[in-house]
Structure 1
Amino acid sequence: METLPTTTVTSSKSERRGRSSKYQSTSKPSVIMAFFSCVAWLYVAGRLWQDSENRVILNNMLKKNYDQKPKVLTVDDKLMVLGCKDLERKIVETEMELTLAKSQGYLKSGSSSGGKRLLAVIGVYTGFGSHLRRSTFRGSWMPQGDALKKLEERGVVIRFVIGRSPNRGDSLDRKIDDEDRARKDFLILENHEEAQEELPKKVKFFFSAAVQNWDAEFYIKVDDNIDLDLEGLIGLLESRRGQDASYIGCMKSGEVVAEEGGQWYEPEWWKFGDEKSYFRHAAGSLIILSKNLAQYININSGSLKTYAFDDTSIGSWMIGVQATYIDDNRLCCSSIRQGKSSK
């Protein structure tokens, strides 16, 4: 009977020790998990706080840079604001306005008269086989030597206009160079090949070269098959001085020759409509353009269309601009009227 309490007590203590050990083994992982959860929460909170601080700093920097942005926009700024298409449209419009301004007399060009504008530059068409005609002109209406310089002092420049031989540097080119050194009265078109079929292109090269070399009121193309009343021409030009957009000559129109092999045949006759009629143009051997019209040819020479003849080619270019057509019978030659009646 006395041993029973001892046995009972021992058993109770053992059970308490067992429960205590089980409780301790169960709560230990929970404490560890709670600890790591706290650490993770502190890490995430720290990162969020740091990101928030970075955003505040970045916003302040952007605002500061925006406030300090220059008033004049750069190309990149314009691309951002306007977009590529809108910017391209504005560039095209600006280029068109610039071309218009240049065609109206705002193109910088050289001047051979110390800054004073000349009255006229007269280009006399000539060829490699026209030495005799040039000699005839020099002995008649065209001054030579000192007389030519005095004429330039009056504001009139006269030059024989010629291109280069298809075989560059051959005897034809050398003869022209020698003649020019002796006479000093040539305008040699280095980029033009002298040939009969290239005459419509020659007129573009002439007006472009003349505008680039001399600042004048008028630019005149003259064939070498006429005798020129130089003083009468100077008087005509003096009366027209200051008239922009002047297109002066013996004005006419006429039938377009569509039969291949016929005189004055126009290979592109079909472009002139069912009536096959030329537009109004200055025909013949003498054509006068005011400064801004000659500049228009110079600026757009790369895209101007040429036809079979130089006078109709010039006439086609004048259709697209606000040219003032001036028909002067004094510039008409009866032989030319008869020979070019179809034009």
Structure 2
Amino acid sequence: METLPTTTFSSSSKSERRGRSSKTSSKPSVIMAFFSCVAWLYVLGRLWQDAENRVILNNMLKKNYDQKPKVLTVDEKLMVLGCKDLERKIVETEMELTLAKSQGYLKSGSSSKRLLAVIGVYTGFGSHLRRNAFRGSWMPQGDALKKLEERGVVIRFVIGRSPNRGDSLDRKIDEEDRARRDFLILENHEEAQEELPKKVKFFFSAAAQNWDAEFYIKVDDNIDLDLEGLISLLESRRGQDASYIGCMKSGEVVTEKGGQWYEPEWWKFGDEKSYFRHAAGSLIILSKNLAQYININSGSLKTYAFDDTSIGSWMIGVQATYIDDNRLCCSSIRQDKVCSVA
């Protein structure tokens, strides 16, 4: 009986196979271990780099916080921007120009020759008939008005603008001015009863800007003038700087609300409640430098209930020469007065 063939393996062949098998399986492990080490090194490097970046960033933030600017005042901000010096230079230049003009080195206005006077006659939108009455009596018209200006006297009706700019009231005044050429229109002033104290600031400012004159005169619209008598009075006062001329008075301050001549700020005038000395509002004369003072400081000058007391309050604070002239008391019975109530 035949026996099946059998295969026998020697111990040497078995060990050889195990050796080959172990060598083959160890290569991927080594490769994996290598890449694993590389990955760990990369991660550690990034972590280290991030830690350094955080330290640097913290140091920069701390440095910037320490150098954070303090809260600046307005003056400090202006100083940083260079505006403070510019503001000071502008103020100094304005003062120098004003001084030069007052000393005759510069001419203001359109006239090359200094006038004797600029007379501003207050008027309103509803005063057309009264203006015509003045034009037909003491106030020259047309060529006669031009000849008067050649003598050194300018006369203008003074009016502001309507609260409703450009309406029929404004258009009628513009038409009348084109025909007569005898208005000084205050573009920045609103013509209203409660705004009258402010009107005097706008008038003296505009007159000083437009004409170079010895005197600037405010006249109410209910006053007739002896024009030649007024010119003679002004001629005698030529060259008198800081002159505040008028019919001086010091009346009682009305404290009762709703009463005629009521002064809302009556409590400012002391226990006796009397106004300081001031020229009556019917006719007020200021010399050139006083009109310029109002022009320069118009924005900060305080007004009271009436224009004459407002001007009087401004004159208290400057070196004004008060000249009380009875010829300017329009309601008096003097024969030689230069004004009268119309």
The two structures share one fold, judged by TM-score above 0.5: yes
On the 8 A contact 1:248/1:327 being kept in 2, the answer is yes
1:107 & 1:71 partners in 2: Cα distance? Answer: 47
Structure 1's 278 and 144: CA in aligned 2 closer, same or farther, altered over 3 A? same
Structure 1's 222 and 41: CA in aligned 2 closer, same or farther, altered over 3 A? farther
**CA offsets 1:285-337 (integer angstroms, 9 cap, x no match):** 10000000000000000000000000000000000110010000010022799
Displacement of 1:88 after TM fit? 9.5
Displacement of 1:110 after TM fit? 1.4
Displacement of 1:262 after TM fit? 1.1
Structure 1's 80 and 208: CA in aligned 2 closer, same or farther, altered over 3 A? closer
Displacement of 1:112 after TM fit? 2.5
Structure 1's 169 and 326: CA in aligned 2 closer, same or farther, altered over 3 A? same
1:158 & 1:323 partners in 2: Cα distance? Answer: 25
1:96 & 1:38 partners in 2: Cα distance? Answer: 84
Residue of structure 1 in register with 2:120 after alignment:
123
May I ask how many residue pairs the two structures share in their alignment? 338
Structure 1's 37 and 309: CA in aligned 2 closer, same or farther, altered over 3 A? same
1:244 & 1:52 partners in 2: Cα distance? Answer: 82
Displacement of 1:108 after TM fit? 4.6
2:46 & 2:74 partners in 1: Cα distance? Answer: 39
Q: Secondary structure of the equivalent of 1:335?
A: coil
CA RMSD of aligned residues (A): 8.8
- The 4+ residue runs of structure 1 with deviation greater than 6 A are 1-8, 10-22, 25-107, 335-343
Of stretches 90-99 and 119-128 in structure 1, the one that deviates more from structure 2 is 90-99
Structure 1's 62 and 139: CA in aligned 2 closer, same or farther, altered over 3 A? farther
**CA offsets 1:94-116 (integer angstroms, 9 cap, x no match):** 87777677677777511335xx1
Structure 1's 94 and 212: CA in aligned 2 closer, same or farther, altered over 3 A? closer
**CA offsets 1:162-214 (integer angstroms, 9 cap, x no match):** 00000000000000000000000000000000001111100000000001110
Structure 1's 284 and 36: CA in aligned 2 closer, same or farther, altered over 3 A? same
On the 8 A contact 2:135/2:141 being kept in 1, the answer is yes
1:163 & 1:180 partners in 2: Cα distance? Answer: 13
On the 8 A contact 2:327/2:334 being kept in 1, the answer is no
1:33 aligns with 2:32: yes
Structure 1's 72 and 336: CA in aligned 2 closer, same or farther, altered over 3 A? farther
1:7 & 1:241 partners in 2: Cα distance? Answer: 152
On the 8 A contact 2:248/2:280 being kept in 1, the answer is yes
Residue of structure 2 in register with 1:77 after alignment:
76
**CA offsets 1:63-107 (integer angstroms, 9 cap, x no match):** 999999999999999999999999999998887777677677777
Instruction: Please identify which structure carries the higher helix content.
Output: 1
**CA offsets 1:31-55 (integer angstroms, 9 cap, x no match):** 9999999999999999999999999
Displacement of 1:15 after TM fit? 52
1:106 & 1:58 partners in 2: Cα distance? Answer: 66
1:49 aligns with 2:51: no
Structure 1's 27 and 256: CA in aligned 2 closer, same or farther, altered over 3 A? farther
Displacement of 1:277 after TM fit? 1.2
Residue of structure 2 in register with 1:64 after alignment:
63
On the 8 A contact 2:158/2:183 being kept in 1, the answer is yes
Structure 1's 85 and 174: CA in aligned 2 closer, same or farther, altered over 3 A? closer
Q: Secondary structure of the equivalent of 1:106?
A: coil
On the 8 A contact 1:111/1:117 being kept in 2, the answer is no
Q: Secondary structure of the equivalent of 1:298?
A: helix
Structure 1's 313 and 138: CA in aligned 2 closer, same or farther, altered over 3 A? same
Question: TM-score under structure 1 normalisation?
Answer: 0.69
**CA offsets 1:193-239 (integer angstroms, 9 cap, x no match):** 00011111000000000011100000000011011000000000000
What is the percentage of aligned positions where both structures have the same residue?
Answer: 95
Displacement of 1:275 after TM fit? 1.4
Displacement of 1:274 after TM fit? 1.4
On the 8 A contact 2:281/2:307 being kept in 1, the answer is no
**CA offsets 1:224-269 (integer angstroms, 9 cap, x no match):** 1011000000000000011100100000102111111111110001
